[in-house]
Every structure is written in C-alpha cells, then in structure tokens.
Structure 1
Amino acid sequence: MSPQNNKSQSSLFGALFFPVLVIGALIVIAILVMSFTGNKRTAPSPGDNIRQLSADTMATLRNQYDQLGEAIGDPDAPVTVREFGDYQCPACGNFEPTAERIRNEYVDSGKVRFIFFDFPLSMHPNAQTAAIAARCAGRQDKFWPYHSRLYQTQSKWAEKSDPSSAFLDLGLEAGLNTGKLKACMKNKTPLATINKERGAGEAIRLRATPTVLVGNTEFVGGPSYAKLKKAIDDALSAAGAGGQSSGGDGG
C-alpha cells in the first residue's frame, strides 16, 4: 500500500473517530448531569416521610377499606393506627417489634384500634403467599401470632422457591389445623380480599412499606417506638380527656 493511501486512510480515520469521540463524551456528560439532577430532585427532605392526609382520604379508608384489613381493638377506640406492610419486606420485619409493642400497650386498654393492610410488592415473590397464609391463619383466629411469626422467621423463608412447607410449619407451631391451613393456602381463598386491600394503599398514594398512619398522620417507613408513641399520645389528648372518639382517627 502506498504512503499516499496510508495518509488518506489516516485522514479518514481521524475525520470519523474524533467527532464520534466528542459525541460519546457529550453523551456521558449528559447522562451524569441527568443522573445528578434527577437524584437531587427526588431526594427526600427531612420532613418528606411525615405528612397529614386529607379528611376525604381518611373517610375513604374508614368507609371502604378498614373492613378489609385485619383489625384488633375496639372499633370505637379514640385513635386508629393503620399499617401497610409486606411480609417479605426487611424494613417491615424490622418494624414488627415496635408494632407489636404498640398493640400490647394500647389495644387492650381500649385506646387504640390497630389495622393491618396487606400490600405485597411485586419485587417480593413470596410476599403474596405469606399474606394468604396469614389470612388463612386468621380464619382459625390466629392471625396476629402467625403474623408476628412470619416476620420473625422472614430470613428463613424469604428466598425459598416454594415457602409453603415453611408456612405450614408455622401453622403447626401456632396450633392451627394444618389440613385446613393447607387447603386454604392452596385455594388462595383470601386473595380476593388482599387484592381489594391494594385500593387502600392506592388511596393514600403509598410510597413504601412499611407505612404507618396514626389517625391522619402518615409515617413513611417504620417510625421509632418513641415517635409512634408520641403521635398516639398526642392524638389521644386531641380526642379529649374522656377518651371520646373523633371518628376513630384521633382528631
């Protein structure tokens, strides 16, 4: 090949390569800028995880969805606490001891009604099966102890391709009729209710699990015991010294 041809090819290579290199660099810079500005735009401020829900939203929860959740406590309790959870969600598992402590301290005294709403996320393949198992346990009046055990044993069943045997073992521990539990799980009897419950999460524009409502005050993520206790005590005070109900939402 002649030197002239080599020179022509080098010139052609340079003419094609450098513009491509510049365009590639500009694309990388653009992606970095978009990523940075996007993260900045969506990063939550310190108060973003707490907000007040509207009266209309609370009325929708009371009138359409509360009856679908698993509830414990006096329906006329001055304050209602609502939790939206996913059994395979690690944050929900971490929050469960706090939720259980609140139930133990406030429900039996008649001060709080606690309602749990299932919101299994598609990213957690065993969450829906776990929710079905818990609701099946509820048909034998064992929802709450089974609910707590699901969270306590989360790491043991979360990654199983089929967690059914683990869920049956939990039923045996809880004193359930495992034959009935197995049949209920196989038929997915509670699934229709669980699917309807999703409307409650959509009504509040659920952003994450767990989400906890104390009256109309929403905490995204599991609030600490101290923060949750303060919110409940403030709602009880707002409800009046006589413990008068204020629509079950603590004011």
Structure 2
Amino acid sequence: MSQNNARSSLFGALFMPALILGVLIILAILVISFRSSPSAPSAGNDNTRTLDASLISQFEDTYDALGESVGKPDAPITIREFADYQCPACGSFAPTAKRIREEMVESGKARFVFFDFPLPMHAHAKQAAVAARCAARQGRFWDYHDRLFETQRDWSQRDDPTSMFLDMAVESGVDADRLEQCMTQGGPDEVISQNQEAGKAIGLRATPTIIVGDTLFSGAVSYERIQQAVERQSGGGNG
C-alpha cells in the first residue's frame, strides 16, 4: 500500500504541473491567434471608422430618401441611425436619439435620418418596423417610433405583439384600422428591404449603427461623443 501511495504521490506531483503548463500554453496560443485575427478589432479601434466620400454621396443621392428624416435638408451635418426595434442596445440608445432630434435638429445644427435594419434573430423586429412605417403614412412616425422603443420589453416577449402594436396606434394618434390594413398588406416591406441593403453597403456590423457626417459608430454611443463629432465636422459642411 505504501508503495502504491508513493507512486500516486509522484504521479500527482508530475501530472498537475504539466496540466497547468499545458493550459497556459493553450491560452497563450488563443490570445495570440485572436490578436492576429483580421476580424478582431485592433487596439484603439473603438468600433469607429470613417466612410469614404463615395458612400456618403450614395446616401445623399439615394439612401437618405429611403429613411425617415427630420430636420432641414441643408443642415450643416446629417446624423444617420440604423436600428432594430427589438434590439436591446437600440432601446438603450433611443433616449439619446430623441435628445439629438430635440436639441441638435431643432436648433438647426443637424438633420436626422432613421433607417430600419431588423435582424433575423429578433422575431418581431420586422413587424415592428412595418408598423412604424405604416404610422409614417399617417404622419405619425416619430410618435409611434418612440412608443415602440419605450414598450420594447413588453411586446418583444409576446408570441404575437399585433394587439399591442394596434394599441400603440391609439396612444400615438394613429388610426388603428388603417394601420392594421397597411400592416396586413405589407406595403412598407420593399422600403425596409432597401434600408437593409443600404446597411449592407456600409458593412453594418451591429445595431444601432450611428453615422455622424462621415464617421461611423458601431453600437450605442453617448450623446457627448456624437456632439463632439458634430462640432468637429459641421464647419466643413460634411454630411
């Protein structure tokens, strides 16, 4: 027994350090592989990049007309948002977007354009986008848009949120019968698909994606950073 115990102790003494060393080597390889991977963000990238002039021209000439906009067409700078109504990060950014519209847009410093980018993993995102676009046909897009984000947690958990979408119509000053008819007929489907194509054209990686002039922020971004980007670019008239 004592001989067996001695062998077990020796095995444990040799095996455990080797196991730990092996784990450390594997972790080191994984870290090196991640850092060298082209898809991994480089240090200091901060999910921010600059769009080239040809893409900005595409927005000005084609894509902007597909979004829902507010503000003067000749504002010094345009702020664009791509979002999914069922995306939690988009819901968190919604108050910032509303503040942009109430402060920067109202003061004439910027124009704001919203684009739909419903993600396939969100079961009700496309239906919500359709409902908002149908509300836009009655001139109540922004009221309905805001209610969708305010109530996101409730309707996103339902098997069928249609009744909530119709209730929101009444809350937003929208004719519910007309909204339901528009949703049933799928009128806005084509423009939503075109919005998604615009997102693909800029290599959209996440929602929300915010474009301030030619600066793209992937993911939610603070009001302060957007304000800084506006101040930095508006003097040059980029937008």
TM range, smaller chain? 0.7 to 0.9
* Amino acid in structure 2 at the alignment position of 1:205: G
User: How far apart, in 2, do the equivalents of 1:38 and 1:116 lie?
Assistant: 38
* Amino acid in structure 2 at the alignment position of 1:58: I
User: How far apart, in 1, do the equivalents of 2:148 and 2:98 lie?
Assistant: 13
Structure 1 counterpart of 2:72, from 60, 69, 74: 74
In the TM superposition, residue 61 of structure 1 has moved relative to its aligned partner by 1.6
User: How far apart, in 2, do the equivalents of 1:66 and 1:38 lie?
Assistant: 40
Rg larger in 1 or in 2?
1
User: How far apart, in 2, do the equivalents of 1:33 and 1:127 lie?
Assistant: 40
- Pair 1:30–1:117, CA change in 2 (3 A): farther
| Cα-to-partner distance string for 1:42-96 (whole Å, 9 max, x where unaligned) | 4433324111100011111221211000011111111000000000000000001
In the TM superposition, residue 234 of structure 1 has moved relative to its aligned partner by 1.7
- Pair 1:38–1:125, CA change in 2 (3 A): farther
In the TM superposition, residue 34 of structure 1 has moved relative to its aligned partner by 7.7
TM-score by length of 2: 0.84
Matched, 1:217 2:215: yes
Task: Note the 1:22-41 alignment, pairs <5 A.
Answer: 39-40=34-35, 41=37
User: How far apart, in 2, do the equivalents of 1:31 and 1:167 lie?
Assistant: 51
In the TM superposition, residue 182 of structure 1 has moved relative to its aligned partner by 0.6
User: How far apart, in 1, do the equivalents of 2:172 and 2:144 lie?
Assistant: 7
In the TM superposition, residue 237 of structure 1 has moved relative to its aligned partner by 2.9
User: How far apart, in 1, do the equivalents of 2:120 and 2:26 lie?
Assistant: 28
Question: Helix, strand or coil: the match of 2:98?
Answer: helix
In the TM superposition, residue 36 of structure 1 has moved relative to its aligned partner by 5.0
In the other structure, the counterpart of 1:238 is 236
In the other structure, the counterpart of 2:164 is 166
User: How far apart, in 2, do the equivalents of 1:199 and 1:178 lie?
Assistant: 30
User: How far apart, in 1, do the equivalents of 2:143 and 2:111 lie?
Assistant: 17
Task: Note the 1:126-145 alignment, pairs <5 A.
Answer: 126-145=124-143
* Amino acid in structure 2 at the alignment position of 1:57: L
Q: Are 1:60 and 1:203, in contact at CA under 8 Å, matched by a contact in 2?
A: no
* Amino acid in structure 1 at the alignment position of 2:119: L
- Pair 1:73–1:30, CA change in 2 (3 A): same
In the other structure, the counterpart of 1:21 is none
In the other structure, the counterpart of 2:18 is none
User: How far apart, in 1, do the equivalents of 2:82 and 2:207 lie?
Assistant: 6
- Pair 1:43–1:172, CA change in 2 (3 A): same
Structure 2 counterpart of 1:147, from 136, 139, 145: 145
Question: Helix, strand or coil: the match of 1:88?
Answer: coil
In the TM superposition, residue 188 of structure 1 has moved relative to its aligned partner by 1.3
In the other structure, the counterpart of 1:207 is 205
Q: Structure 1: 5+ residue runs without aligned partners?
A: 1-27, 240-245
Report the aligned-residue RMSD: 2.0
User: How far apart, in 1, do the equivalents of 2:69 and 2:26 lie?
Assistant: 48
* Amino acid in structure 1 at the alignment position of 2:178: K
In the other structure, the counterpart of 2:111 is 113
User: How far apart, in 1, do the equivalents of 2:69 and 2:170 lie?
Assistant: 23
Q: Are 1:71 and 1:114, in contact at CA under 8 Å, matched by a contact in 2?
A: yes
Q: Are 1:213 and 1:219, in contact at CA under 8 Å, matched by a contact in 2?
A: yes
User: How far apart, in 1, do the equivalents of 2:214 and 2:197 lie?
Assistant: 17
In the TM superposition, residue 205 of structure 1 has moved relative to its aligned partner by 0.4
User: How far apart, in 2, do the equivalents of 1:207 and 1:159 lie?
Assistant: 25
Q: Structure 2: 5+ residue runs without aligned partners?
A: 1-22
Structure 2 counterpart of 1:98, from 96, 102, 117: 96
* Amino acid in structure 1 at the alignment position of 2:165: F
Task: Note the 1:54-65 alignment, pairs <5 A.
Answer: 54-65=52-63
